[in-house]
Amino acid sequence: MTPPLSFAIVDGETIYLERIKYIQCDNRRCFSVNKTSHPSNSKSIEIYFDSEIPRTDYLYKVLSFEANIKGFDTWLKALNCAIAEAKNITIISKQNRWLYREYEKLRKSMGLTIDSINGWLNSHLGIVGEKKLVEMQIKNIGGSIDTNEISFGTFKKLYDYFIEKQQSDLMTIATEQEHLYNIYNVIKHLCSNIDSNTEDFKSIQDYFHVDKSRLILNFKQCLNYLFSDYNSAFDYTSQQLHQDMTQTLNHYWISSSHNTYLAKTQILNPASIHCYIQALLKGCRCVEIDCIDGRNSFEPEVTHKNTLIKPLLLRDVLEAIHDYAFITSELVVLDKV
């Protein structure tokens, strides 16, 4: 099993690597939210991450720290590698990491008692009236039923037991023999519009790595398929660019942002360069730049006119767009000035 990869704890909250959105550091243009000085023999790194706790602010949370110049490149390379690995894990690893987080939340909030685990199974899996079975399974697995003495291994085995029990009860397709299923019957049951002669059917066969002379699956393979990207409601082909991109703008739906620079309201709150960065990283292809003459300098500024919003330098906005415009998408970015 693979627990979630965590990086640090900020204000009592764990940062998980797959929730890190981007990094700012001294070796590129840095639009820091913390304008603090640091020793000459070190460089700063800022990590912007999405919290598990529901956000009240638009901007991501940030963790800042300093690294010695000699170890800076190593730090940055290792951090980027770890983040990339965390975001490209298998569906099974994603399930295990989610389950580990749920285990930790339950342990810290209510304690790992029979009642709390039974309540969790009820709210997350719809398991009702099985308290005695929960207690019996924990004992069979070898876990203690005392508060907070149930290990993650026991918790996971308990979860797997009820998932398999639940899905087994729902599986109504014909079996070749006990706990073995014909792949054609499985796909016909789940995807009635897929014919056995289509490319989709063949790709599903390849996914299972089954013996093509028998086409038999066990229960675990069926369950893994249900949780896999192959069974996702989202059509993965929609992620591929298919327009010819030669028509006029009115032929396309464009992901756009209004008042991109605003982090909150249009009256008192400061604008932020990170609003542009976040919009572009989310795939936005049209950002708004409200440009006015500089109030205290000769440089143009970006702000909401006739308000108390602290302005941004146009130079910083354009540099941020230059740095982040094509990380998520190669499609053209429209700057609405």
Q: Residue 10 above 50 pLDDT?
A: yes
Q: Residue 230 above 80 pLDDT?
A: no
Instruction: Share the mean pLDDT of the chain.
Output: 75
Average pLDDT of the residues in 179-196: 59
Place of tokens 């360069």: 273
Q: What is the largest CA-CA distance in the chain?
A: 80
Q: Is the separation of the CB atoms in 16 and 32 below 8 Å?
A: no
Which tokens is 155 given? 């918790």
Q: Report the distance separating Cα 35 and Cα 31, nearest Å.
A: 9
Q: Is the separation of the CB atoms in 278 and 59 below 8 Å?
A: yes
CB atoms within 10 A of CB 310: 12
Q: Residue 167 above 50 pLDDT?
A: yes
Q: Residue 289 above 90 pLDDT?
A: yes
Q: Give the pLDDT confidence score for residue 321 in this predicted structure.
A: 92
Q: Give the pLDDT confidence score for residue 41 in this predicted structure.
A: 66
DSSP state of 271: B
Strand partners, 46: 24, 64
- Least confident piece of the model among 69-73, 236-240, 298-302: 236-240
CATH fold for domain 6-89:
PH-domain like (2.30.29)
Q: Give the pLDDT confidence score for residue 276 in this predicted structure.
A: 92
SS in 3 state form for 182-231? Answer: EHHHHHHHHCCCCCCCCHHHHHHHHHHCCCCCCCEEEHHHHHHHHHCHHH
Q: Report the distance separating Cα 123 and Cα 239, nearest Å.
A: 33
Average pLDDT of the residues in 26-33: 52
Q: How far is CA 258 from CA 101, 221, 279, in A?
A: 36, 46, 10
Place of tokens 């490149």: 73
Catalytic residues: 258, 304
Q: Give the pLDDT confidence score for residue 287 in this predicted structure.
A: 94
Average pLDDT of the residues in 16-43: 64
Q: Give the pLDDT confidence score for residue 102 in this predicted structure.
A: 87
Triad 186, 188, 193: Cα angle to 5°: 145
Q: How far is CA 49 from CA 13, 56, 236, 294, 322, in A?
A: 11, 14, 26, 32, 21
Q: Report the distance separating Cα 217 and Cα 280, nearest Å.
A: 43
Residue type present at position 206: D
Q: Give the pLDDT confidence score for residue 136 in this predicted structure.
A: 86
Q: How far is CA 323 from CA 72, 251, 281, in A?
A: 21, 28, 11
Q: Give the pLDDT confidence score for residue 174 in this predicted structure.
A: 46
Show Cβ contacts of residue 319 under 8 Å, excluding neighbours closer than 6 positions: 29
SS in 3 state form for 12-24? Answer: CEEEEHHHEEEEE
Q: Give the pLDDT confidence score for residue 1 in this predicted structure.
A: 47
Q: Report the distance separating Cα 261 and Cα 336, nearest Å.
A: 12
Residue 48 DSSP SS3: strand
Q: What is the pLDDT of residues 98-138, one digit of tens each?
A: 888 888 888 888 778 888 888 888 888 887 778 888 888 88
Which tokens is 166 given? 């639940």
Q: Report the distance separating Cα 321 and Cα 298, nearest Å.
A: 21
Which tokens is 67 given? 């690294």
CB atoms within 10 A of CB 316: 16
Backbone dihedral angles phi then psi of residue 86, each to the nearest 5 degrees: -65, -30
Backbone dihedral angles phi then psi of residue 256, each to the nearest 5 degrees: -125, 160
Average pLDDT of the residues in 254-272: 83
Residue 217 or residue 127, greater confidence: 127
Predicted TM-score (pTM) of the model is 0.58
Q: 256 pLDDT band (50/70/90 cuts)?
A: very high
